[in-house]
Amino acid sequence: MTSKLVLPILLLSILFLACTNPPKEAPVEDPGLVLITKPQFDSEKMELGIPSLTAFSELVHFTGTIIPSPNGWAQISLPIPGIISKIHCRPGQMVSKGDPLFEVGGNELIDMQRDFAESAAALSRLRSEYERMKELTNEKIGTRKEFMLAESSYLTEKAKYNALKIKLENIGLDVIKMEGDVFQSTYSLRSPIHGSITQIRATIGQYTESQQNIAEIIDTRSFMLELAVFENEISKVKPDQIAEFSLAGDGGVTFRSKLISAGKTIHKESKSIDCYANIENLQGYNFVSNQFAEGDIIVSTDSVMAVPESAIVNSANRSFVLSLTKEEGTHYLFDKVEVVKGRTSNNMVELREKIPTGKLLLKGGYNIQSE
C-alpha cells in the first residue's frame, strides 16, 4: 500500500517544481549581428561615436634643399689685385655688415692712389684753363677751336678723376688725403652682409687677383626652401600654398613654409621643376645650408565625413563599420555596415558612400572578424 502511494506523490512533486521554476530561454540573435559583451567592451577599451566632419588635404610630394636667399649669400673677392697682409676672420665666425675681414696691400693700390693724385692735380690745372678760355671766347678774344680743345681736355680728365675717386671710396680710402699726397699702404676688405663665414680661401702673403673668391658668407636668417615638383603635378602648385616638410635626422619635427614662386623650366634628367618657399619660424631652428628636406605641398583642402582607421573592419577586400543596433544588460549588438573608403589622413578615413548614421564602434574593434 505504501509503495503504491510513493510513485504518485513523486510525480506530483516534479510537476509542481516544473510549474514554479520554468527554464530560461536562450536569447535569439540575428546571425548577421556582432555581439560584444560589456566586460569585453571595457577590457579592450572600446569606444562608441559617430562619423565626424574632417578636413582632408590634397597633397603634392616633393624633395628639396635648404638654401640661402640671393641677398643672403656673399662671395668675397678683392676690388683690385693685391696681397693679403692680415686676416681678421675665421670659418664659422658670425660677422656683421661692415666688419673688417682682410687687410690688403700691394703695388696696385699704391699705383691707383698715385694716378688719382696726378688726376686731381691735372684736373685743377685743366679747370683753370677751361674757365680762362671760356671767358676769352665770350669776349670774342679766343677762338672757338681753342675753347673746344680746352673743354674736351677738362671733361676727359674730370671723368678719369671721378672714376678713380669712386673706386678708391668703394674700398674705404680717404680721397681727400690723397689729393694732399697722403697715401695708404693697405685697406680693409669689409663684409657686405651679416652672416656666418663658411669658407676662407686665402693666406697671409698670398697675391690675389680681383676675380678670385677668397671667402664666403651665408646669412642664416635668409634661409629658404628650394623644392622640386614633378612636371605632371606642377599645374596644381601656386604661390601662397603651404608646404610642410621635415629634415633628415631631425627626429620627425615638421616645419611649415609658404610658396613664393613656381619655376618654369623642367630639368631634363629628373623631370622636375624647381619651386621656392619662405620658411616660417626660421629663427627657432638651426638650419644648415644644403640640408636635405622632404614633404608635401597642401594644394587644396575640403571637409568630408570620416571615421578613425580603427573603426574600419576589413574582410575579403571589403570594408565595414560596426553600427550599434541594440544595447542590453550584458552585451552590445552591432550590425556590419559596408562602406566605401576614400582618402586617409592623420589616422582618419574618408567615407565616400553609404555613410551610416547612429553610433559606431570607433575604437577597439580591430580583433573582430567580418565574414
Write out the residue range of the structural domain in which residue 211 sits: 70-106+185-218
Residues listed for the chain: 371
Residues 158 and 234 in one domain: no
Residues 213 and 121 in one domain: no
Establish if 63 belongs to a structural domain. Answer: no
Other C-beta atoms within 10 Å of 193: how many? 18
Establish if 237 belongs to a structural domain. Answer: yes
Residues 323 and 368 in one domain: yes
Residues 328 and 362 in one domain: yes
CATH, residue 160: 1.10.287
Q: Please answer whether residues 45 and 36 qualify as being in contact, where contact means their C-beta atoms are separated by less than 8 angstroms.
A: no
Residues 90 and 199 in one domain: yes
DSSP 236: G
Distance CA 196, CA 99 (A): 12
pTM over 0.75: no
Q: Please answer whether residues 179 and 117 qualify as being in contact, where contact means their C-beta atoms are separated by less than 8 angstroms.
A: yes
**What does the angle CA 166 – CA 168 – CA 172 come to, to the nearest 5 degrees?**
110
CATH, residue 100: 2.40.50.100
pLDDT of the residue at 24:
35
Distance CA 335, CA 361 (A): 10
Long-range contacts of 365-370 (CB under 8 A, 24+ apart): 365/46, 365/310, 365/311, 365/313, 365/322, 366/310, 366/313, 367/44, 368/34, 368/36, 368/313, 368/322, 369/313, 369/315, 370/34, 370/313, 370/314, 370/315, 370/318, 370/320, 370/336
Q: Is the dihedral of CA 286, 290, 292, 295 positive or negative?
A: positive
Please classify residue 74 by burial: count the beta carbons closer than 10 Å to its beta carbon, then call 0-12 exposed, 13-18 middle and 19+ buried.
buried
Give rounded-to-5 percent helix, strand, coil for the chain: 30, 40, 30
Q: 276 CB contacts (<8 Å, ≥6 apart)?
A: 224, 225, 226, 227, 259, 260, 261, 263
Q: Which residues of the chain have pLDDT under 70?
A: 1-32, 251, 366-371
Quick: pLDDT tens for 93-148: 999 999 999 999 999 999 999 999 999 999 999 999 989 888 888 877 778 888 89
State the total domains in the chain. Answer: 3
Establish if 5 belongs to a structural domain. Answer: no
Residues 154 and 48 in one domain: no
**What does the angle CA 250 – CA 253 – CA 257 come to, to the nearest 5 degrees?**
110
Distance CA 260, CA 117 (A): 50
Residues 167 and 209 in one domain: no
CATH, residue 347: 2.40.420.20
pLDDT of the residue at 259:
95
Q: Is the dihedral of CA 6, 9, 15, 18 positive or negative?
A: negative
Q: Please report the DSSP string for 55-101 in residue order.
A: EEEEEEEEEEEEEE-GGGEEEEE-SS-EEEEEE---TT-EE-TT-EE
CA distances from 361 to 6, 326, 354 (A): 60, 13, 16
